[in-house]
Amino acid sequence: MEDDLYGGDLYGDAGGEYEGGYGDDVQVEGLQAAELLGGQKAGSGLPSRDLFHDLPPAQLDEVKDTKLTSMGSGQQQQQAQPATDRWRVAVRDIAGVLGLAVGNRDPDTHTVLESVRRLKASDTSAQEELRKLRRRDAALQMQLADRSLEALELRRELASASAAAEPSVVQLKQLMLDPAVAREFARLRAELEAAQVRGRGGGVRA
């Protein structure tokens, strides 16, 4: 029989046993490898868990970290969306308070921020002016208290002077009850009566 270039029978041997030719060893090794990998058929793929299981520990941890990171990023994006919506609603509310509402459209953020800055600056200026007015009011209150105290002292001095110039009723009663004063009054009364009698007598003679 004629042999092929690789040692096998070119036309095949119908009567003898086939010992195999080129490529048969590779096929057998492939079947054995498939059986070792869990009884999978040749040509079927390995499960992903078996592929990850065969990775070194460092690469396996890296794959797990990458998976967790991707999951965390997705959760962060889901959590960031409600926060963004809340900020959008807050900006629209502030714009409405400032009179910058533009219907159903979102207001310009720059315009809203500038309006808030101007409002804050105006509020700061008003607060400073209010503090100045309060300090001025406190100074005026102190001056008014001083003037009120001076007026009270003047009224006391005036009352003392009036009491010294005009004796009170009690002082007059005390003077009338004094014997010396009573005698003096009696003498003056007698002289007055004598003068009146003399005046009447002189008028009769005439």
pLDDT, tens only, 11-70: 544 444 445 544 455 455 555 555 544 544 444 444 444 444 555 566 656 666 676 666
Write down the pLDDT at residue 136: 94
Question: What separation in angstroms does the CA of 130 have from each of 23, 133, 135, 139?
Answer: 100, 5, 9, 14
**Residues of the chain predicted below pLDDT 70:** 1-65, 67-81, 101-103, 165-170, 201-206
Q: Say which amino acid occupies 63.
A: V
pTM, 2 dp: 0.34
Residue 171 CA to residue 112 CA, distance in Å, equals 84
Write down the pLDDT at residue 71: 63
Write down the pLDDT at residue 127: 94
Write down the pLDDT at residue 79: 60
Residues 34 and 40: beta-carbon distance below 8 Å: yes
Residue 188 CA to residue 175 CA, distance in Å, equals 16
